[in-house]
Amino acid sequence: MKIKNIVILFAVGLLATSCNEDSFLDNQPQGTLTDKVIQEGKQVSLLTNAAYSALMGPNPQDWSVWCYPVTNWSYGSVRADDAYKGGGGTGDLSDVHRMEIEDLDATNGNVDSKWYHLYTSVQRCNSALRMLNSMTDDELSDRQVQIAEMKVLRAHFYFELSRLFNHIVYFDENYTGNINALSNTEYTRDQILGMIADDLEAAAKVLPDAQPEVGRINKYIATAYAAKVNLYRAYKQDEETHKVVSIDKALLQKVVDECDVLINSGKYALLDNFQDLDKVSTGDNSKEAVFQVQYSMDDGSNSAGRVNWSNLLNAPQGPYSGDGFFLPSQDLIDAYQTDDNGLPEFNTYYKQHFDEWNASEGKSDYTTHNVDPRVDFVVGRPGITWKTYKKSPCENTWVRDQGTYGQHCSKRFFVSPESDEMFKGWPWGASALNWNIIRYADILLWKAEALIEMNQNLDMARQLINQVRHRAANKDYWVKDFNDSKKYAANYKIAEYPAQGWTQDYARQALRFETRLETAMEGERFFDLVRWGIAAETMNAYYSREKSLRSYYNNAQFTAGKNEYLPISVTQYNLSNGAYTQNPGYASFK
């Protein structure tokens, strides 16, 4: 049975959450089902299942995940140069709009609730671990494996907290003191990430290669996640300014070694077709899927089922009748342009717009420019074929507020509207499509990044990047013109990087650009910019270019040494009785 199909009782969700508005980090779960009752009834699985369900959000079928998504579309893409908030204008989800223009302070509700939700999820893992620790291997034959699974899940939630907030509270299941009195500056970023990596690496030694239930964490998931955390660890940051001050080559070698575990396993590969990532039948638990959040439809739960409520606001209008949040930026669309050789234009792509809507003529401009075919896998462009939908192409009317946000919508993460994989009606665009936390393309790019920063085996890095580009160059899946299936929808031209001129500096540009193009709209871009130490320069250049198109960027400003991380919310400061310290750059609590 897939974990996505296990029904988790609402009462158990409350039990495992172990939090309320007054004390979100209470140790003892509250409710009629106590640790003793669960242990005596051998019901520890209720706690471990509840910890897994937190991957969908602590209340996965609740409105709250619309606003505080586990997919990080608002925290990792809208805050970056990949996407606009979208929806019904700047006042629609105004806290997300404030994040988009970096008008952030300690009162932002999306900041407070994200912290709260992630610690709720941490506590679910700790509740399960306390129960598992109290049992014996005779009572539970795979107890050590389940302990390792819970530690990987907890590592995931702590990693999210670290890269969002930097200064966080860290404690494990064995802590018995007053959690509200713990400081969020007891540990540095390096120490937090080090503890997370230690848990992941230790878990990988215990976990099996494969699990009896699809969706359960295995050795390869733990190893892949360790590679990701060690990649972040390798970029050493100044604690006050957040500048990257050095890069640890020993940690980069760890990244290479851990990526190689997956690459050499023979268990993973890129899908032949990029678009298959967004089909339930081909994307869920596929050969490219390393770690996925498991979703399901028609599983006996409310409404459509345990679908991805984090993305439900983002379905476009048109055949989805959606709310139209999370729209690709013009800058992202422009970045897919290629030169005469089919290679990206790193430093000049933004000098002319690709497919900018000309309102007076009612059409797009620059449609004759060479472009990477992934643009039409990621972006919904007016007049262009939408997935396998035959009734009409994507239209500009699919965007709710065209005057504010332009004419493009996100094509990723939704199945085609005529597909029997899609739920009909509310919730809009829902399906059983899983969400990728880590996919095999990430593994290839992480290894390439580590090799480039070590300045070792640069040609291997080139070959790894070219594997990703080779998949995009598969003409069998390029988007065809809606009215003439013998033509492509654009002048697609993409090539692999040649060996000539492949220096470390050029390779670094290629890796970072490829990472953006391949993982666009996946909620990772902002964190990549911070890790690389280029967030301020990238974002301020983006605001400067985009404000002529999006007037709400006129006063947007990324402040180095501040906006790399979210502020600690005043609500959490008050709950800590003054134990927390505000992040650098934001107004002090005192």
Neighbour-count burial of 588, counting CB atoms closer than 10 A to its CB (0-12 exposed, 13-18 middle, 19+ buried): exposed
Contact 125, 147 (CB under 8 A): no
pLDDT of the residue at 218 = 98
pLDDT tens over the chain, length 590 residues: 333 333 333 333 333 333 333 333 333 434 445 666 666 656 899 999 999 999 999 887 777 788 899 999 999 999 999 999 999 999 999 999 999 999 999 999 999 999 999 999 999 999 999 999 999 999 999 999 999 999 999 999 999 999 999 999 999 999 988 888 899 999 999 999 999 999 999 999 999 999 999 999 999 999 999 999 999 999 999 999 999 999 999 999 999 999 999 999 999 999 999 999 999 999 999 999 999 999 999 888 878 899 999 999 999 999 999 999 999 999 999 999 999 999 999 999 999 998 876 666 666 655 678 999 999 999 999 999 999 999 999 999 999 999 999 999 999 999 999 999 999 988 899 999 999 999 999 999 999 999 999 999 999 999 999 999 999 999 999 999 999 999 999 999 999 999 999 999 999 999 999 999 999 999 999 999 999 999 999 999 999 999 999 999 999 999 999 999 999 999 999 999 999 999 999 999 97
Q: What is the Cα–Cα distance from 2 to 289, expressed in whole angstroms?
A: 15
Contact 60, 306 (CB under 8 A): yes
Q: Which CB contacts under 8 angstroms, 24+ apart, belong to 549-555?
A: 549/330, 549/356, 549/406, 550/84, 550/404, 550/405, 550/406, 552/90, 552/97, 552/101, 552/404, 553/101, 555/101, 555/103
pLDDT of the residue at 366 = 52
Name the residue ranges covered by the structural domains of the chain. 309-433+457-523
pLDDT of the residue at 104 = 96
From 50, 19, 16, select the one nearest 33 (Cα to Cα).
16
pLDDT of the residue at 181 = 84
pLDDT of the residue at 194 = 98
- Relative to beta strand 235-237, strand 244-247 is antiparallel
Q: What is the Cα–Cα distance from 129 to 298, expressed in whole angstroms?
A: 31
pLDDT of the residue at 7 = 32
Q: What is the Cα–Cα distance from 401 to 5, expressed in whole angstroms?
A: 37
From 306, 397, 439, select the one nearest 6 (Cα to Cα).
306
Q: What is the DSSP letter of 568?
A: P
- For 59-133, where are the E strands, in sequence order? 83-86
Contact 144, 82 (CB under 8 A): no
